[in-house]
Amino acid sequence: MSRIIFEDEYVIVFPTFRETSAHAHPFYHIFFLGDDEILVTGSRMKHTMPECRLFLMIDPTSDIAEHLNDLLTGEAPERISLSSPLVLDGEDDASVSISVERCLTENGFRGPRPAEDTVEDYRVVRLIREINEYRYLDEKIDKIASGYGISESRLSHAFKETVGISLKGYLMIAQLKHAYLLVMAGESKTRAALDSGFASPAHLAYVCKKQMGISITEVLK
């Protein structure tokens, strides 16, 4: 089974799978090709998975994504040499997380601005927080908008304008993350799919394959 560590703004993956089909999704990626070289992909940038030690799937609303976006000069992934290499201080999850966070900070992929300082519409800031608390796993966008007292089109436009990806796409990220967490905690794929807002296990499998280029079974085996 691939080792997966969930942090607030990114997911750390030690893959057991070695190949994916070409795909694109809302996440940013940092693939650690070695201790001091990475490959960076942007949101919706088509790519396959290179041979790598580990990789990060990064929330597109995070300050890390903002800094990575400044490094991406075209429509292809960027290979970058690190000034400060990734050195894992230990093998347990906490040690890995601390080491990765230190590497991000020392190489300038962290900035002082939280999302609240860069998002103009307070509704979007609040909505991002609620989505990350898994409040809307099985909600339609029109119902979410109704709860905010605005139209679906206005909320969707404000979200895309300030975040850079669609509200529907960001909700999908939360659904996938929730499903993975449940499966890793021992739940069946059927229960994980339904509890995360997917219509069926087949729907979860389809979304995973489309977004990640590989089936959930391959990721978790």
Backbone φ and ψ for 39, nearest 5 degrees, come out as -120, 125
**Residue 165, both tokens:** 């990806």
Residue 215 sits in a domain whose CATH number is: 1.10.10.60
Both 36 and 98 in one domain: the answer is: yes
Per-residue pLDDT for the chain (221 aa), expressed as one digit of tens each? 788 998 888 999 999 887 788 888 889 999 999 889 999 999 889 999 999 999 999 999 888 998 898 889 888 999 999 999 999 989 899 999 999 999 999 999 976 544 444 444 678 888 988 999 999 999 999 999 998 888 999 999 888 888 888 899 899 989 999 999 998 899 999 999 999 999 999 999 898 888 888 888 777 76
Q: How are beta strands 28-32 and 37-41 bridged, if at all?
A: antiparallel
Q: Give a yes or no: residue 48 inside a domain.
A: yes
Domain that holds residue 137: 119-220
Both 98 and 146 in one domain: the answer is: no
Q: Give a yes or no: residue 113 inside a domain.
A: no
Beta strands in 47-106 (DSSP E): 54-58, 78-81
Both 214 and 126 in one domain: the answer is: yes
What are 113-162's pLDDT values in tens digits?
444 444 446 788 889 889 999 999 999 999 999 988 889 999 998 888 88
Q: Could you give the count of Cα atoms lying within 13 Å of 42 in the half-sphere of its Cβ?
A: 16
Both 155 and 185 in one domain: the answer is: yes
Which residues are CB-contacts of 183 (< 8 A; sequence separation ≥ 6)? 189, 192, 216, 220
Total Cβ atoms within 10 A of residue 94: 10
Both 123 and 175 in one domain: the answer is: yes
To the question of pTM greater than 0.85 for the whole model, the response is: no
Q: CA-based angle 94:95:101, to the nearest 5?
A: 90
Residue finishing a domain among 78, 106, 134: 106
pLDDT of residue 118: 43
Residue finishing a domain among 106, 137, 168: 106
pLDDT of residue 111: 62
